[in-house]
Chain A
Amino acid sequence: EVQLVESGGGLVQPGGSLRLSCAASGFTFSSYSMNWVRQAPGKGLEWVSYISSSSSTIYYADSVKGRFTISRDNAKNSLYLQMNSLRDEDTAVYYCARVLTTVSDWGQGTLVTVSS
């Protein structure tokens, strides 16, 4: 069974930093690209960042480019999102997701609240 478990969310002040983690199991993590997707309270789904299986290709949404860094450790079956210079509008549930043409697996999400 595929499992994706996010952690690291919490309350942070504007301008602060947070590092999210996602622990993957139930599939060969090193073979698949991964994504972070977020959902602000009462809003829709917003793709945040993509990383290929080997980390050779990385994309970011314009809204987080220059502030967030995605990375992975295939030996630890883990995905990360380093979030710096956080803003109020970054408040959201952050999901780790494996999204392919025929498969889509999501974690339960971790809540990040940016507030003073």
Chain B
Amino acid sequence: IQLTQSPSSLSASVGDRVTITCRASQGISSYLAWYQQKPGKAPKLLIYAASTLQSGVPSRFSGSGSGTDFTLTISSLQPEDFATYYCQQLNSYPTFGQGTRLEIK
């Protein structure tokens, strides 16, 4: 199963609302997770089951979608949110989207 993220990069300002999309090559129900990764660090789980916020993750992060189309939304960007974001599906084994690099405008 292939995952296609868009955009591949995004420039935004603190306080902006941003949306990242992830499209699966076939239906995956709600088996979709979103990760944040900062340089030199392992990925951090933000959202699982398409829309469930991982414990400790700020509520400005939200996810939606099912089937083949999914979105990650950050309602009001904070300085610590500038990072790379990945979607990941879990059919039998995990595969990842190509990533979205979120940069400061």
- Count the B residues whose beta carbon is within 8 Å of the partner chain — how many? 22
Contact of A102 among B49, B84, B92, B93 (CB under 8 A): B49
- Count the A residues whose beta carbon is within 8 Å of the partner chain — how many? 20
Inside 8 A of A106's CB, which chain B residues have their CB?
A: 42-43
Instruction: Report whether B49 and A109 are in contact in the complex, using a CB–CB cutoff of 8 Å.
Output: no
Instruction: Report whether B88 and A95 are in contact in the complex, using a CB–CB cutoff of 8 Å.
Output: no
- Chain B contacts with A in 41-59, Cβ cutoff 8 A: 42-43, 45, 48-49, 52
Inside 8 A of A47's CB, which chain B residues have their CB?
A: 93-96
Instruction: Report whether A101 and B31 are in contact in the complex, using a CB–CB cutoff of 8 Å.
Output: yes
Give the dominant DSSP class at B's interface: strand
A11 to chain B minimum Cβ distance, whole angstroms, is 19
Closest to A109 in B: B42
Inside 8 A of A75's CB, which chain B residues have their CB?
A: none
Instruction: Please measure, in the bound complex, the distance between the C-alpha atom of A104 and the C-alpha atom of B92, giving whole angstroms.
Output: 15
Instruction: Please measure, in the bound complex, the distance between the C-alpha atom of A108 and the C-alpha atom of B42, giving whole angstroms.
Output: 6
Question: Is A14 in the interface zone, CB < 8 Å from B?
Answer: no
Instruction: Please measure, in the bound complex, the distance between the C-alpha atom of A28 and the C-alpha atom of B48, giving whole angstroms.
Output: 21
On whether A99 and B96 interact (CB within 8 A), knowing A45-B43, A104-B48, A107-B42, the answer reads no
Inside 8 A of B97's CB, which chain A residues have their CB?
A: 44
Instruction: Report whether B96 and A35 are in contact in the complex, using a CB–CB cutoff of 8 Å.
Output: no
Instruction: Sample 7 A-B pairs with CB under 8 A, ordered by A number.
Output: A37-B96, A45-B96, A45-B99, A47-B95, A99-B94, A102-B49, A104-B45
Which chain A residues have a beta carbon within 8 Å of chain B's beta carbons?
35, 37, 44-47, 50, 59, 95, 97, 99-104, 106-109
Which chain B residues have a beta carbon within 8 Å of chain A's beta carbons?
31, 33, 35, 37, 42-43, 45, 48-49, 52, 84, 86, 88, 90, 92-99
In addition to A95-B42, A106-B43, 6 A-B residue pairs with Cβ atoms within 8 Å of each other are A44-B96, A45-B99, A47-B95, A59-B93, A101-B48, A101-B90
